[in-house]
Chain A
Amino acid sequence: MTASADHDALAALIDAYVARSAGMRFEEKRGFWDADEPSPVLKPEEEAAPLVGWPAIEGYWQRTRSLLGSLQSKHWGLHLVPLDSDTILALYNMIWSAEVDGPFLGGSPLAAHVRVTMALRRRPAGWRVFAVVESHVDGDVFVRQLYKAMA
């Protein structure tokens, strides 16, 4: 497969993966992951440490579904980093927007910008995810940006 074909296939995969945030279709998201990976890793931005293995990841998805009233995500700026012939990093920006249930944050939608580092490997059926790490911007940088945005 050519680099261009790989790019198109990966762009389509990530489009479809991110689109499944709507409705919190996490069981469908799992279908994009490598079923043969014994230690998949997911690092959501709001978690202090990475989740390793399906029990931890599915437990997080279950908590998310119970906490949020709705979730939408959009992404842009895909950049691919080939690591070897069958392994690649996909870097992209993502904004999620969610309605959070409960008194502390409930009442109006929240949104945040994260940068996603997704690791994928080539399988006979196509590219499959085996790690996803979301990164927020550091707290003091974030606050400085807020001050600048108000100027």
Chain B
Amino acid sequence: MANAGEPVDTIMAAWQGFDSGDSANLSPWPVDVSLVAFDSTDIITTMADTRSHLAQRARALGPLTRDWSEIMRWPLAGGGTLLIAAETLHSTDARTDEPMVRHHTIVAAMVADEAGQTRLAHMTEATPAFLPLVIAQYKRASLS
């Protein structure tokens, strides 16, 4: 059944808590957190590597502001949720302070631990391919 499970704001708050290093959201973690990051070519499959990647991102970017718009949500057994959402991510380049905006498709999974508390288990920040964006921009520029 679609459009049930935890509210999108709850899932985003869990991700932002993790992303900002809020330890209250981290322990005890029932599963290893996996991450398909917009700024990596790897699939990150452990909590340690996820934390390391986000720490590296925090050095490259300024504060992050996220806006999520739900596309689909499936409830999971035990109270967890699988969410697909559209994300607009605002930040700045830490070196130049220039603003940055990215549009992603989010796949976020919250799973329930033995106590029934749900925690973030996976995050995909899917980024559109580069070439179609360049072609579309080129065509718009040609028409202007």
Residues of A within 8 A of B (CB): 38-39, 41, 43, 45-50, 52, 77, 79, 81-87, 89, 91-93, 104, 110, 112-115, 117, 119, 130-131, 133-139, 141-143, 145
What is the minimal beta-carbon distance from B7 to any residue of chain A, in angstroms?
18
Q: Are B130 and A81 in contact (CB under 8 A)?
A: no
Which among B34, B74, B122, B134 has the highest number of chain A CB atoms within 10 Å? B74
The answer for the CA separation of A2 and B28 in the assembled complex, in Å, is: 25
Chain B positions near chain A (C-beta within 8 angstroms): 2, 31, 34, 36, 38-41, 43, 45, 71-72, 74, 76-78, 80, 82, 84, 86, 102-103, 105, 107, 109, 111-112, 121-122, 124-135
Contact across chains for A112 and B71 when beta carbons are under 8 A apart: no
Contacts of A81 in B (CB 8 A): 31, 34, 109, 121-122
A110 to B133, CA, bound (A): 16
Does the CB pair B105–A83 fall under 8 Å?
no
Neighbouring B residues of A135 by C-beta, 8 Å: 36, 38, 105, 124-127
Determine which of A52, A83, A138 lies in contact with B71 in the assembled complex, contact meaning CB atoms within 8 Å.
A52
The answer to whether B86 and A87 touch across the interface, beta carbons within 8 angstroms, is: no
**Interchain CB contact under 8 A, B128 and A47:** yes
Looking at chain A's contact residues, the main secondary structure is: strand
Pairs across A and B, CB under 8 Å, 14 listed: A41-B84, A43-B105, A48-B103, A50-B72, A81-B122, A83-B111, A89-B109, A115-B124, A130-B74, A133-B126, A136-B130, A137-B39, A138-B127, A139-B130
Which residues of the partner chain A approach B133 to less than 8 Å between Cβ atoms?
Answer: 139
Kindly provide the distance from the CB of B91 to the nearest chain A CB, expressed in whole angstroms. Answer: 12
- Contact between B82 and A83 (Cβ–Cβ < 8 Å)? yes
Q: Indicate which residue in A47, A82, A138 contacts B39 across the interface (CB closer than 8 Å).
A: A138
